A and B are shown apart, each in its own frame.
Chain A
């Protein structure tokens, strides 16, 4: 006997309105030949959640041969009422950086997931994975095998390096300060063992944004953020700037650009050209965002590394903090240095973090100076808002540290002279 569609009076209310409805999609699957019984059962359980205002999934163990993570097992706690969807696992798959697809690939995803899974695909999860949602334990391996043969690999889950994300970057943005796609791929693919076989204290996320607009939300949402920036002067097309003034008026440019500069680095000259105090500029991107035809980042581009962002569990929210103010990302050697730094930080995290402690929490516990020493980076003025305000500190190593500072300064002067 064919399984009947469940009554879903609450979910039905999410089918009206102008936004695309996920409920209509679930119903289409529930009415299909291939995924019908499975998704009818799933719809029934979801309606039960809406009715009782509780979730009914529990974790467990499920995975694929060769990897220790990447499948999110879900077993129903109300399987007696909804037996067909008692196993509803997710397979996390890593997308290409920038989430570009051709339709041939997307259609193959659909075919595979219609065959082995529920037919429900989430593009994308909060960490950036393609989420193939809804699969029985027995079908995990064949589904993954097909996706893997297509050239796609498992994403991260649990205490490991997680799937990464980047902004659209150099593919379609003039504000991109480095090759985000290459950096993502090189860093993540150099750390695949730590991504596929969880053995870290807790999760470790990398995110890649091409400029301070941080479209990948890297500063807060990753342990290791790579954010594009530049060292030389903002590039200005003065004729284009004058055109903006002519079209929009001085008041609008003053109100919306000059006066919104966070370090008061901008002013309009008497001849309606733009004056920029590049020494005071903090590369925040605002003026460049507004005047896209007149301004662009400098030519000496690269990235900052910001470490330690995370959400509330356990000690409260942390923004990442500046660790490397600038590194070039152009040559093969530059990218190798980035990969080496990523491995240095992962290694230090693995050895020094407590169980279930994120990188930012570890730094908070041991102090930034200890972390810097551990990864071999010297203290830099761009790491702070201001120097310490507390006098409760032992300073008996002061003279030695001053000598190191002077030596570094002298070495830099020699380097600059060469």
Chain B
């Protein structure tokens, strides 16, 4: 009798060595670069200490790619960039070349195949986004669709460098905000407490863990129709949805009441100013799949004001710091409400504790 085959144990090799995959010109000049410039939008030109030169062409992708798309990009890379590519944190693809003469030819091919060339310098780069309805277990909206709709809208700003500085847009399909901080962030904001399916709570949820998860201690244990369940103090509930991942019967997503909010002025870098969190400017926008036109309209207004009034190198938040929030709300024609006043911990630091006023 044959002994049962033992299962294959993984080779616990960890992160592979990037040198095995890197374009040969990058590998040869690793740590030895001297300066760079941008000959045109979508193209970077790096010069090494020994005089070696590399041109990089950056193009947008749909991030979630089918194998045919990846194979098409591979074919292009074989023809132009010695069979090597890299991807950026914002899901753009980069082709590296040592022959400047290939740059225009590659751009023509990428244009013809529908991959927009751009995303460099003071452009609007690809929306960094999350999984949404395609794969997430707690999404209030889609992510790929929002990103696609917005990038269709801002395509002309992706392929040009005409903004004051780079614009990083993020989108997130729940308030956990996997999309991260952004010059503009487009995030789900629930407006009603979760609806509890009491039949399922005892079966699916570890109740103490759910109670502990609530940031405002609004959840307590309860007996409902003789069964152990949970109840919510709806006056305390901030509708954040934090209880939903550990307890799916706490249904937070709602086709009508899960709205979209827009935040501005987030920045990760320590360049010039210290990193900043994005701030709420608009809320209550409908989750209007498949194209989210109301969201695009507000984002458009904000970007138009920034483009017109921002000075070179000012990021969105730095521009607003200079002109002040009264002017920002005036220029964007957005309503200012009591909900813009921060009452979370540390919120007092967002108040104007001075005699300085803008008119």
Contacts and interface: CB of A to CB of B under 8 A. Distances in A.
Contact of B137 (A22, A65, A74, A212): A74
B123 interface: no
B11 A98 contact: no
A319 B268 CA distance: 9
Contact of A213 (B16, B88, B253, B271): B271
A128 to B, nearest CB: 8
A120 interface: yes
A20 B85 contact: no
Contacts of B61: 20, 123
Contacts of B228: none
Given A123-B63, A292-B37, A50 B11 contact: no
B213 A356 contact: yes
Interface in A146-173: 148-149, 151-154, 164-165, 167-168, 170-173
Which has the most chain B C-beta neighbours within 10 Å: A18, A141, A153? A18
B195 interface: no
Nearest to A13: B290
A57 B137 contact: yes
B235 interface: no
Size bin of chain A's contact surface: 35 or more
Contact of A284 (B71, B215, B272): B272
Nearest to B151: A19
A26 interface: yes
Contacts of A126: 128, 130, 178-180
Interface in A2-34: 10-11, 13-14, 16-23, 25-26, 28-29
Interface in A55-110: 55-59, 64-67, 72, 74, 88, 90, 94-107, 109-110
B68 A105 contact: no
Contact count band on B:
35 or more
B290 A10 contact: yes
Interface stretch (B26-34, B100-108, B302-310, B330-338): B26-34
B66 to A, nearest CB: 4
Interface string B146-187: 001101100100000000000000000001111111000000
Contact of B345 (A18, A165, A292, A316): A316
Given A20-B60, A101-B21, A28 B268 contact: no
Nearest to B314: A260
Interface stretch (B2-10, B218-226, B351-359): B2-10
Contacts of A26: 66
A26 B115 CA distance: 17
Contact of B66 (A57, A120, A219, A311): A120
A395 B96 CA distance: 59
Given A19-B155, A55-B140, 14 more contacts: A50-B290, A57-B135, A59-B137, A64-B10, A74-B137, A103-B74, A119-B66, A128-B89, A144-B10, A171-B26, A174-B46, A176-B33, A220-B180, A311-B176
Interface of B: 7-23, 26-27, 30-31, 33-37, 46, 54, 56, 60-71, 73-75, 77-78, 83-89, 91, 93, 96, 114-116, 128, 130-142, 144-145, 148-149, 151-152, 155, 175-181, 209, 212-213, 215, 240, 242, 248, 253, 255, 258, 268-275, 277, 287, 289-291, 311-313, 344-346
Closest 10 CB pairs of A and B: A17-B152, A25-B66, A189-B14, A53-B255, A49-B133, A96-B18, A174-B33, A103-B74, A19-B151, A212-B270
Interface of A: 10-11, 13-14, 16-23, 25-26, 28-29, 46, 49-50, 52-59, 64-67, 72, 74, 88, 90, 94-107, 109-110, 113-114, 119-126, 128, 133, 141, 144-145, 148-149, 151-154, 164-165, 167-168, 170-174, 176, 179, 181, 184-185, 188-189, 192, 195-196, 212-221, 227, 255-256, 260-262, 282, 284-286, 289-290, 292-293, 296, 311-317, 319, 355-356
